[in-house]
Protein backbone atom coordinates (compact mmCIF):
# COMPACT_ATOMS: atom_id res chain seq x y z
CA UNK A 1 0.00 0.00 0.00
CA UNK A 2 1.19 3.53 -0.76
CA UNK A 3 1.67 5.86 2.19
CA UNK A 4 -0.62 8.42 0.56
CA UNK A 5 -3.39 5.80 0.40
CA UNK A 6 -2.89 4.91 4.04
CA UNK A 7 -3.06 8.62 4.88
CA UNK A 8 -6.67 8.75 3.65
CA UNK A 9 -7.55 5.72 5.79
CA UNK A 10 -5.75 7.29 8.78
CA UNK A 11 -7.71 10.56 8.47
CA UNK A 12 -11.04 8.76 7.98
CA UNK A 13 -10.43 6.53 11.02
CA UNK A 14 -9.77 9.46 13.38
CA UNK A 15 -12.50 11.76 12.07
CA UNK A 16 -14.80 12.75 14.93
CA UNK A 17 -12.21 11.79 17.55
CA UNK A 18 -9.66 14.51 16.80
CA UNK A 19 -9.89 17.67 14.73
CA UNK A 20 -8.28 17.68 11.28
CA UNK A 21 -5.26 19.76 12.32
CA UNK A 22 -4.47 17.32 15.14
CA UNK A 23 -4.86 14.29 12.85
CA UNK A 24 -2.47 15.86 10.35
CA UNK A 25 0.02 16.57 13.15
CA UNK A 26 -0.22 12.94 14.32
CA UNK A 27 0.30 11.65 10.78
CA UNK A 28 3.55 13.56 10.24
CA UNK A 29 4.84 12.76 13.74
CA UNK A 30 4.36 9.10 12.83
CA UNK A 31 5.94 9.30 9.37
CA UNK A 32 9.07 10.59 11.08
CA UNK A 33 8.81 8.08 13.95
CA UNK A 34 8.19 5.03 11.73
CA UNK A 35 10.02 5.92 8.51
CA UNK A 36 12.30 8.86 9.36
CA UNK A 37 10.35 10.92 6.82
CA UNK A 38 9.70 14.60 7.53
CA UNK A 39 6.72 16.37 5.97
CA UNK A 40 8.83 17.58 3.02
CA UNK A 41 10.13 14.03 2.43
CA UNK A 42 6.57 12.71 2.25
CA UNK A 43 5.73 15.38 -0.35
CA UNK A 44 8.84 14.48 -2.37
CA UNK A 45 8.08 10.75 -2.25
CA UNK A 46 4.44 10.43 -3.38
CA UNK A 47 4.92 6.75 -4.23
CA UNK A 48 6.48 5.72 -0.91
CA UNK A 49 5.31 2.17 -0.33
CA UNK A 50 4.47 0.49 2.96
CA UNK A 51 5.26 -3.18 3.48
CA UNK A 52 2.66 -5.45 5.10
CA UNK A 53 4.64 -5.32 8.36
CA UNK A 54 4.69 -1.52 8.24
CA UNK A 55 0.94 -1.36 7.61
CA UNK A 56 0.49 -3.60 10.67
CA UNK A 57 2.52 -1.15 12.77
CA UNK A 58 0.42 1.76 11.53
CA UNK A 59 -2.78 -0.18 12.30
CA UNK A 60 -1.66 -0.91 15.87
CA UNK A 61 -0.87 2.75 16.47
CA UNK A 62 -4.11 3.84 14.82
CA UNK A 63 -6.09 1.58 17.19
CA UNK A 64 -4.33 3.26 20.15
CA UNK A 65 -5.12 6.72 18.76
CA UNK A 66 -8.76 5.74 18.36
CA UNK A 67 -8.72 4.99 22.09
CA UNK A 68 -7.23 8.49 22.55
CA UNK A 69 -3.88 7.25 23.83
CA UNK A 70 -1.51 10.26 23.79
CA UNK A 71 0.80 10.30 20.77
CA UNK A 72 3.71 11.00 23.15
CA UNK A 73 3.18 7.68 24.92
CA UNK A 74 3.08 5.92 21.55
CA UNK A 75 6.35 7.41 20.32
CA UNK A 76 7.87 7.50 23.82
CA UNK A 77 9.00 11.11 23.47
CA UNK A 78 7.89 14.69 23.95
CA UNK A 79 9.52 18.03 23.18
CA UNK A 80 9.88 20.69 25.86
CA UNK A 81 11.76 23.98 25.68
CA UNK A 82 13.44 22.81 22.47
CA UNK A 83 14.66 19.57 24.06
CA UNK A 84 13.68 15.93 23.56
CA UNK A 85 12.40 14.05 26.61
CA UNK A 86 11.56 10.40 27.06
CA UNK A 87 8.06 9.93 28.46
CA UNK A 88 6.06 6.90 29.55
CA UNK A 89 3.01 6.04 31.62
CA UNK A 90 4.92 6.84 34.83
CA UNK A 91 5.43 10.50 33.89
CA UNK A 92 3.19 13.38 32.96
CA UNK A 93 3.61 14.68 29.43
CA UNK A 94 5.34 18.09 29.62
CA UNK A 95 2.99 20.99 28.83
CA UNK A 96 3.55 24.31 27.01
CA UNK A 97 2.35 26.17 30.12
CA UNK A 98 5.24 24.66 32.06
CA UNK A 99 7.63 25.99 29.41
CA UNK A 100 6.33 29.44 30.36
CA UNK A 101 7.19 28.74 33.99
CA UNK A 102 10.74 27.74 33.02
CA UNK A 103 11.06 30.91 30.91
CA UNK A 104 9.93 33.02 33.87
CA UNK A 105 12.61 31.48 36.11
CA UNK A 106 15.34 32.01 33.50
CA UNK A 107 14.22 35.63 32.99
CA UNK A 108 14.41 36.23 36.74
CA UNK A 109 18.14 35.47 36.60
CA UNK A 110 19.01 37.58 33.52
CA UNK A 111 20.28 40.54 35.54
CA UNK A 112 22.38 38.38 37.89
CA UNK A 113 26.12 37.93 37.53
CA UNK A 114 26.67 34.81 35.41
CA UNK A 115 29.50 33.57 37.60
CA UNK A 116 27.29 33.70 40.68
CA UNK A 117 26.55 30.20 41.98
CA UNK A 118 22.90 29.22 42.11
CA UNK A 119 21.26 26.39 44.01
CA UNK A 120 17.97 25.26 42.41
CA UNK A 121 15.51 22.58 43.55
CA UNK A 122 12.59 21.17 41.55
CA UNK A 123 9.96 19.30 43.57
CA UNK A 124 7.83 16.68 41.79
CA UNK A 125 10.10 16.46 38.77
CA UNK A 126 8.43 13.77 36.63
CA UNK A 127 10.38 13.60 33.35
CA UNK A 128 12.94 16.07 34.70
CA UNK A 129 11.90 18.62 32.08
CA UNK A 130 12.06 21.61 34.47
CA UNK A 131 15.48 21.01 36.09
CA UNK A 132 17.11 19.84 32.85
CA UNK A 133 15.89 22.90 30.94
CA UNK A 134 17.03 25.17 33.78
CA UNK A 135 20.47 23.58 33.99
CA UNK A 136 21.06 23.97 30.25
CA UNK A 137 20.05 27.63 30.36
CA UNK A 138 21.63 28.48 33.73
CA UNK A 139 24.82 26.40 33.54
CA UNK A 140 26.28 28.05 36.64
CA UNK A 141 23.51 26.48 38.75
CA UNK A 142 23.66 23.34 40.86
CA UNK A 143 20.29 21.70 40.21
CA UNK A 144 18.52 19.06 42.31
CA UNK A 145 15.17 17.36 41.77
CA UNK A 146 12.82 15.33 43.97
CA UNK A 147 10.06 12.90 43.06
CA UNK A 148 8.07 10.34 45.02
CA UNK A 149 8.01 7.90 42.09
CA UNK A 150 11.06 5.68 41.59
CA UNK A 151 9.89 4.86 38.05
CA UNK A 152 9.53 8.54 37.15
CA UNK A 153 13.03 9.20 38.47
CA UNK A 154 14.43 6.42 36.26
CA UNK A 155 13.00 8.30 33.26
CA UNK A 156 14.29 11.66 34.55
CA UNK A 157 17.80 10.24 35.00
CA UNK A 158 17.84 8.94 31.42
CA UNK A 159 16.64 12.35 30.21
CA UNK A 160 19.46 14.07 32.07
CA UNK A 161 21.99 11.74 30.42
CA UNK A 162 20.53 12.19 26.92
CA UNK A 163 20.51 15.98 27.34
CA UNK A 164 24.06 15.91 28.79
CA UNK A 165 23.40 17.62 32.12
CA UNK A 166 24.27 16.78 35.70
CA UNK A 167 21.27 16.81 38.04
CA UNK A 168 21.09 15.45 41.60
CA UNK A 169 17.97 13.27 41.81
CA UNK A 170 16.36 12.36 45.13
CA UNK A 171 13.48 9.97 45.80
CA UNK A 172 11.26 11.32 48.58
CA UNK A 173 7.63 11.97 49.45
CA UNK A 174 7.74 15.73 49.91
CA UNK A 175 4.77 15.57 52.30
CA UNK A 176 6.96 13.57 54.70
CA UNK A 177 10.09 15.75 54.41
CA UNK A 178 10.75 17.93 57.47
CA UNK A 179 13.86 19.72 56.23
CA UNK A 180 15.66 19.89 52.86
CA UNK A 181 19.02 20.02 54.68
CA UNK A 182 20.48 22.81 52.55
CA UNK A 183 19.65 26.29 51.30
CA UNK A 184 18.40 27.02 47.80
CA UNK A 185 18.20 30.25 45.82
CA UNK A 186 15.25 28.97 43.79
CA UNK A 187 12.66 26.32 44.60
CA UNK A 188 10.20 25.42 41.86
CA UNK A 189 7.33 22.96 41.76
CA UNK A 190 4.53 21.85 39.48
CA UNK A 191 2.78 19.65 42.06
CA UNK A 192 -0.52 17.75 41.79
CA UNK A 193 -3.27 20.37 41.73
CA UNK A 194 -6.33 19.03 39.88
CA UNK A 195 -9.25 18.52 42.26
CA UNK A 196 -11.42 15.43 41.91
CA UNK A 197 -14.38 17.74 41.26
CA UNK A 198 -12.60 18.91 38.09
CA UNK A 199 -12.25 15.39 36.65
CA UNK A 200 -15.21 15.93 34.31
CA UNK A 201 -13.21 18.71 32.62
CA UNK A 202 -10.22 16.44 31.97
CA UNK A 203 -9.95 14.94 28.51
CA UNK A 204 -9.99 11.17 28.11
CA UNK A 205 -6.40 11.12 26.78
CA UNK A 206 -5.22 12.58 30.10
CA UNK A 207 -7.65 10.88 32.49
CA UNK A 208 -7.19 7.37 31.10
CA UNK A 209 -3.44 7.40 30.50
CA UNK A 210 -1.47 9.93 32.57
CA UNK A 211 -0.44 9.08 36.17
CA UNK A 212 -3.11 10.17 38.65
CA UNK A 213 -0.48 10.37 41.40
CA UNK A 214 0.99 13.40 39.60
CA UNK A 215 -2.35 15.01 38.76
CA UNK A 216 -4.99 14.86 41.49
CA UNK A 217 -5.52 16.14 45.01
CA UNK A 218 -8.49 15.76 47.34
CA UNK A 219 -11.18 18.43 47.05
CA UNK A 220 -10.99 19.05 50.79
CA UNK A 221 -7.34 20.16 50.73
CA UNK A 222 -6.44 21.24 47.21
CA UNK A 223 -3.45 23.34 48.35
CA UNK A 224 -1.88 20.53 50.40
CA UNK A 225 1.34 20.40 48.34
CA UNK A 226 1.61 24.19 48.06
CA UNK A 227 1.37 24.65 51.81
CA UNK A 228 3.96 21.96 52.56
CA UNK A 229 6.44 23.15 49.90
CA UNK A 230 6.00 26.79 50.94
CA UNK A 231 6.67 25.86 54.58
CA UNK A 232 9.85 24.04 53.54
CA UNK A 233 10.81 27.05 51.40
CA UNK A 234 10.58 29.31 54.46
CA UNK A 235 13.19 27.08 56.14
CA UNK A 236 15.36 26.28 53.15
CA UNK A 237 15.35 29.28 50.81
CA UNK A 238 18.30 31.65 51.02
CA UNK A 239 17.49 35.25 52.08
CA UNK A 240 15.52 36.82 49.17
CA UNK A 241 15.33 33.38 47.55
CA UNK A 242 12.52 32.77 45.05
CA UNK A 243 9.70 30.23 45.11
CA UNK A 244 7.92 29.43 41.82
CA UNK A 245 4.78 27.31 41.39
CA UNK A 246 2.61 26.16 38.53
CA UNK A 247 -0.91 26.40 39.92
CA UNK A 248 -4.54 25.39 39.45
CA UNK A 249 -6.12 28.09 37.26
CA UNK A 250 -9.18 28.23 39.56
CA UNK A 251 -7.16 28.70 42.75
CA UNK A 252 -4.97 31.71 41.97
CA UNK A 253 -6.39 33.94 44.71
CA UNK A 254 -6.30 31.12 47.25
CA UNK A 255 -2.66 30.29 46.43
CA UNK A 256 -1.77 34.00 46.63
CA UNK A 257 -3.49 34.21 50.02
CA UNK A 258 -1.68 31.13 51.32
CA UNK A 259 1.74 32.58 50.42
CA UNK A 260 0.84 35.98 51.85
CA UNK A 261 -0.33 34.47 55.15
CA UNK A 262 2.94 32.53 55.42
CA UNK A 263 4.87 35.80 55.17
CA UNK A 264 6.28 35.72 51.63
CA UNK A 265 6.84 39.06 49.89
CA UNK A 266 6.68 40.38 46.31
CA UNK A 267 4.05 37.78 45.37
CA UNK A 268 3.20 37.83 41.66
CA UNK A 269 0.42 35.87 39.95
CA UNK A 270 0.91 35.33 36.22
CA UNK A 271 -1.40 34.18 33.44
CA UNK A 272 -0.43 31.62 30.80
CA UNK A 273 -0.76 31.96 27.03
CA UNK A 274 -4.43 30.97 27.29
CA UNK A 275 -5.24 33.75 29.78
CA UNK A 276 -5.54 31.45 32.81
CA UNK A 277 -3.92 32.07 36.19
CA UNK A 278 -1.17 29.46 35.90
CA UNK A 279 2.00 30.57 37.72
CA UNK A 280 2.94 32.33 40.90
CA UNK A 281 6.25 33.45 42.32
CA UNK A 282 7.25 35.02 45.61
CA UNK A 283 10.30 35.97 47.60
CA UNK A 284 11.36 34.90 51.06
284 contacts 229 by C-beta, under 8 angstroms: no
User: Quick one: 97 and 179 in the same domain?
Assistant: yes
Q: What is the pLDDT of residue 114?
A: 67
DSSP β-ladder status, 265-271 and 277-283: antiparallel
Domain membership flag for residue 97: yes
User: Quick one: 141 and 254 in the same domain?
Assistant: yes
pLDDT tens by residue, 228-261: 999 999 999 999 999 999 999 999 999 999 999 9
CA-angle at 24, arms to 27 and 11, nearest 5°: 80
For residue 185, the number of C-alpha atoms closer than 13 Å in the C-beta half-sphere is: 15
User: Quick one: 124 and 56 in the same domain?
Assistant: no
Residue 101 Cα distances to 88, 162, 176, angstroms: 22, 22, 26
Containing domain of residue 33, as a range? 3-67
53 contacts 8 by C-beta, under 8 angstroms: no
CATH number at residue 107: 3.40.50.150
Q: What is the pLDDT of residue 205?
A: 78
Please name which of 255, 141, 215, 230 lies closest in space to residue 180, comparing C-alpha atoms: 230
Taken as a whole, the chain contains a residue count of 284
User: Quick one: 130 and 173 in the same domain?
Assistant: yes
User: Quick one: 132 and 217 in the same domain?
Assistant: yes
Domain membership flag for residue 76: no
Domain membership flag for residue 73: no
Q: What is the pLDDT of residue 242?
A: 97
Domain membership flag for residue 158: yes
User: Quick one: 58 and 168 in the same domain?
Assistant: no
Domain count, the chain: 2
The residue among 18, 34, 67 that closes a domain is: 67
User: Quick one: 147 and 212 in the same domain?
Assistant: yes
The residue among 34, 67, 100 that closes a domain is: 67
Residue 3 Cα distances to 30, 33, 247, angstroms: 11, 14, 43
CA-angle at 242, arms to 240 and 243, nearest 5°: 140
User: Quick one: 174 and 131 in the same domain?
Assistant: yes
User: Quick one: 209 and 276 in the same domain?
Assistant: yes
pLDDT tens by residue, 13-34: 999 999 999 999 999 999 999 9
The stretches of the chain forming alpha helices (DSSP H) are 3-14, 20-35, 39-44, 52-66, 71-75, 96-108, 129-137, 150-162, 204-207, 224-236, 252-261
Q: What is the pLDDT of residue 200?
A: 80
Residues of the chain with pLDDT under 50: none
Amino acid sequence: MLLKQYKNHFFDSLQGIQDEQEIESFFFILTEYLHNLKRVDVALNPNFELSDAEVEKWNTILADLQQEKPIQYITGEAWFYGLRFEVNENTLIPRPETEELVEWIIESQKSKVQSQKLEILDIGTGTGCIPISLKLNLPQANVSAIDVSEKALEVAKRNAVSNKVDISFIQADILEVEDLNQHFDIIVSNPPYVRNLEKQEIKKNVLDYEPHLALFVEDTDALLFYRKIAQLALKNLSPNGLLFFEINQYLGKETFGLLKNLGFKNIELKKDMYGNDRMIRCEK
